[in-house]
Amino acid sequence: MLSAFGPLSMDLYLPALPSVEDEFGAGQSAVQLTVSAAAIGLALGQLLVGPLSDRYGRRGPVLIGVGAWAVASALCAVAPDVWTLVAIRLLQGVGGAAGIVLARAIVRDRLDGVAAARAFAVLASIMAAAPVLAPLAGGLLLSLTDWRGIFAALFVIGLCVVGALLWRLPETLPRDHRVPGGLATTLANGRELLGRRSFLTPVLAMGLGFGALFTYISHSAFVLQDGYGLSAQQFSLVFGANGVGIVLAGQFSRVLAGRVRLRTLLRAGLAGQAVGGAVLAAAALGGWSLWVVLPAMFVVTTSTGLVMPNATALGMAEAGRKAGTASALLGVVQFGLGALIAPLGGLGAAGDLLPMALVMLGSTSLGLLAAAALPDRERQAVGAD
């Protein structure tokens, strides 16, 4: 549940953007800021909450974060104007960040070896599939309510998660394992982690692989509907099928953990993304039919289900007592690279496949280079040979 908070904050609301624009009479750029603000909050919140949890434990920060997310969701539902909504969405993102960063840290606190890799596969498949499936759920909610009702639903979800945390989540970081110190210590820990090739390379590989997925999420509607003439309903079916593919790939990765080296699974996922991107580029240049484009998109998106869990497991294995800080850095690189890479896919004319395909191919090719630079040794914490 915690892993889904970021995508829920960002993407459940996407189908409602036109109705928000109509109600407030605001321009498209102002309404788009309500999405960007949530993304900024998710990134900044991870940098804040992760190191704090290394110092004060996991349970308190996650309860405060999820509670703040629920309150912010309720406030969004009654926002009187678009600029108030933008400000509250920023706070909602900060609260939702606690779920993302601490889900990974809690797994790292409790599990080692193959068990940790399998748990990260579950979390990562949710993180990868939720951005694809959340807009579909948002569209269904809009058939029953308006955009304010979507935020009311998020408020109810937040209350349920707070109750579940109070009931089922113990403190997972003992006092004698906590990292003392203030901002200077946090910065030193972050620099130390980023200075390790065994941490930095899988984190970069994951961010670049996620950049390809985020490019698909941002531009596939224009490509498939404006460029290839799919209806909104047909596009929803394609979007949903690709989301299911990500989940299945994540479960496949979970099964293979302990039998195949994590670096091998990571490289296989990035290679799959690159092959899919290359086929999409060839289809754009050669004017190939939709029956080539759709399978290639499926390969790109589904391969993310191999990239994210194994990159996460490899990076978090390096965390030790700094799991919160490591998880925060991982999340910031993921969302940061995604936010930087995805807009490049829209540089061409509306509905043009080629820019999206080239961005996907370039991003995953760089990810393969990062994965190739991984040290030969895998730490015991993630199931070394």
Neighbours of 227 (CB within 10 A): 21
* pLDDT tier for residue 121 given thresholds of 50, 70 and 90: confident
User: Average pLDDT of 55-69?
Assistant: 93
241, 177 Cβ separation under 8 angstroms: no
CA-CA distance, 66 to 144, in Å (whole number)? 26
Cα-to-chain-centroid distance, residue 114: 22
Query: At residue 260, what are phi and psi to the nearest 5 degrees?
Result: -125, 140
Q: What is the pLDDT of residue 6?
A: 74
Which residue reads 């004319």 in tokens?
349
Residue 271 has pLDDT above 90, yes or no: yes
* pLDDT tier for residue 385 given thresholds of 50, 70 and 90: very low
* pLDDT tier for residue 377 given thresholds of 50, 70 and 90: low
User: Average pLDDT of 88-107?
Assistant: 91
Q: What is the pLDDT of residue 218?
A: 76
CA-CA distance, 75 to 65, in Å (whole number)? 15
320, 193 Cβ separation under 8 angstroms: no
Residue 381 has pLDDT above 70, yes or no: no
pTM, two decimals, is: 0.80
User: Average pLDDT of 199-213?
Assistant: 93
User: Average pLDDT of 81-109?
Assistant: 91
pLDDT tens-digit map of 128-171: 777 777 877 888 888 888 989 999 999 999 999 999 999 999 99
Helix or strand or coil: residue 169? coil
Higher pLDDT, 334 or 14: 334
Higher pLDDT, 125 or 261: 261
Q: What is the pLDDT of residue 115?
A: 85
> How does DSSP classify residue 112?
-
Two tokens, residue 345? 């896919």
Percent of all residues in the chain with a pLDDT value above 70, rounded to a whole number: 95
Residue 383 has pLDDT above 70, yes or no: no
Residue 384 has pLDDT above 60, yes or no: no
Residue 364 has pLDDT above 90, yes or no: yes
User: Average pLDDT of 221-246?
Assistant: 83
Of the candidates 31, 17, 7, which has an alpha carbon nearest to the alpha carbon of residue 147? 17
DSSP letter for each residue of 221-261: HIIIIIIT---HHHHHHHHHHHHHHHHHHHHHHHHHBTTB-
Which residue reads 């984190």 in tokens?
203
Q: What is the pLDDT of residue 55?
A: 86
- In order of start, what are the domains of the chain with their CATH numbers? 2-377 (1.20.1250.20)
pLDDT tens-digit map of 303-328: 998 998 899 889 888 877 788 888 88
Q: What is the pLDDT of residue 28?
A: 63
CA-CA distance, 338 to 336, in Å (whole number)? 5
270, 205 Cβ separation under 8 angstroms: yes
* pLDDT tier for residue 182 given thresholds of 50, 70 and 90: low
Q: What is the rounded average pLDDT for all residues in the chain?
A: 86
pLDDT tens-digit map of 21-30: 888 887 766 7
